[in-house]
Amino acid sequence: MKRYFNDSWHEIQQMSKFSPMKRNKLLQMLLTVLGFGTCSELESCAFEYGPPPEDYTLRVTPSEVRVGSKGGTEELKVVTDDSWSVSHVPSYCTATPTSGRDSGIVHVYIDENYSIDARYGYILIIGAAGGESVMVDVIQNGSQ
């Protein structure tokens, strides 16, 4: 089990290299292995590719945030009829509010990137109903 957990942790660290759908699948698999649910309990396991089913109770748009090296502010629209929380934010970002009930807006503040390298991260929003989660890519250009 320890070896499997270490392998899974390595996959999480490498998640920024994967597409949003691949990262969602990896995250769902890890949560299942750690005992937080099984694929039959997690609706998102039912669709590996393509849009979520109509009865999916958590939606976040846009699915990707792209900003220049100067940083900026973006808004994520959370649509749900239940409570939700922001459970992961890259170190160079701030998200407010970090939780809510029903639909709302999450303001994402992205710091300036002084490095010439682009930064890739994700914001994870988890809904209370059904253990659903949505990952939003955060991509920031490097400085010139």
* E strand or H helix at 7: helix 2-13
Bridge partners of 109? 73, 94
Q: What is the pLDDT of residues 43-93, one digit of tens each?
A: 444 344 445 555 557 899 999 999 999 999 999 999 998 899 998 999 999
pTM: 0.62
Average pLDDT estimate for 18-44: 54
* Domains of the chain in sequence order: 2-140 (2.60.40.10)
Report the length, in residues, of the chain: 144
In angstroms, the CA 98 to CA 108 distance is 10
